[in-house]
Amino acid sequence: MTSRDAEVAIVGGGPAGAITAMLLARAGREVVLLERAPRWRWRACGVFTSPAAVAALRGLGFGLEEIARVAQPIAAMEVVSARRARFRLSYGGSGDLADSAVGFDRAALDPVLLDLARAAGADVRLGSTVERVELASAHGRVILGEREPSDVVARVIVGADGLRSRVASAARVTRQAALGPRAALTFHVRDARPRLSDASPDARMCVIDDGYVGLAPVPGGIVNIGIVLGRPWFGRLRGAGGGEVARAILERLPDEADRHLAAEEPIDHVAGVTPLGHAVARRAGESWLLVGDAAGFLDPFTGEGLHRAIVSAELAAEAIQDVHRGRSGGLERYERAMHDRFSTKDVVSRLVQAFLGRPRLFDYAARRIAARGSVRDTMAAVIGDLAPARRALDPRYLGALLAP
């Protein structure tokens, strides 16, 4: 068996893994990144994000011109309840790339991030299938399933391998997701909707019975479609298949323009994932930590997975640097930092899901959000990670939201 020693081994080459590798390599750390896909391919993942993710990328040194090549500015997200109440979340932006939500072209974004990690000095290995992860107190070991058996031994193993994280499993921290079983379908189609102006159309989130549909414009005149479905849909998914279920749902969207999308053939395969959700008891141990979706994934409705991936990568890189500087408790500080940063937002996400599970209550709230500008602005800021999540839990805010 051939063996490779490194200071850090990262399992998974999505945004969280690539950015962690880039930051550590820039700091002089010896990093090996292992990505199972030999080349980029579409898989269920998020594309819509608030201005917070764009600001985070700019903080990492990305210029607006670089971001413009992989992102479509979106003026607002319009939310439509199952009973046709609607409200529009602008996130305080003007519609320009510098201060607005965006839809990312993941086929462009993900390879760019891997290229940057490689350029910084990380050893990026595509087509590396991880068979097993072993974790000890002083180091970790990643065993690869290749024609010639090989492994990577590192002081720190980073799990950036998503909802089915092998690193989380090896650490025995995987737990059942807080929300009930759900399935997700995602794919792209040509954006054939009639256009009334040259402005980019809003993103849309349409609530349906036992689920919701997200529509997000991305570069190249394409729209990403994401559909999340609860347990009552599972039998139909098994019988008819994801593609047919998705088409039937699109045909019943509330806006006629959006229904045009049902006639478009998917540009890529309809990617599905179930169960949708991932929970962990801890995000760090003596020789490992988890970033991105591997660190816990709760709620695609709020659309902030990409921002959380970037933030977790930054916090992880800082913690790993502490370990290599000889500071005690570095990885434990990552656990505390992630808890401080996201625990309250997770409470808000669970509250949103509680409303979604009660259509009449969600419709009631939607009508009040539409009519009350200050309530709507706070909602957008909290969901978009632009304001502290505790603002949405303030009794005064909840009173303003729910009062007749």
What residue ranges do the domains of the chain occupy?
Answer: 1-72+101-182+276-404, 73-100+183-273
Its pTM stands at: 0.94
Q: What is the pLDDT along the chain (404 residues), one digit of tens a residue?
A: 688 899 999 999 999 999 999 999 999 999 999 999 998 888 878 899 989 999 999 999 999 999 999 999 998 999 999 999 999 998 877 778 888 899 999 999 999 999 999 999 999 999 999 999 999 988 899 999 876 678 999 999 999 999 889 999 999 999 887 777 889 999 999 998 877 666 667 899 999 999 999 999 999 999 999 999 999 999 999 999 999 999 999 999 999 999 999 999 999 889 888 878 788 999 999 999 999 999 988 777 776 789 999 999 999 999 999 998 888 787 889 999 999 999 999 899 888 888 888 889 999 999 999 999 999 999 999 998 999 999 999 999 999 998 98
CA pair distance 90, 100, nearest whole angstrom: 8
CA pair distance 84, 363, nearest whole angstrom: 8
Outline where DSSP puts E strands in 121-191: 123-126, 130-135, 140-144, 150-159, 174-175, 182-190
CATH number attached to the domain at 73-100+183-273:
3.30.9.100
CA pair distance 366, 361, nearest whole angstrom: 9
Residue type, 75: A
CB atoms within 10 A of CB 78: 18
Q: Which CATH superfamily is domain 1-72+101-182+276-404 in?
A: FAD/NAD(P)-binding domain (3.50.50.60)
CA pair distance 268, 43, nearest whole angstrom: 9
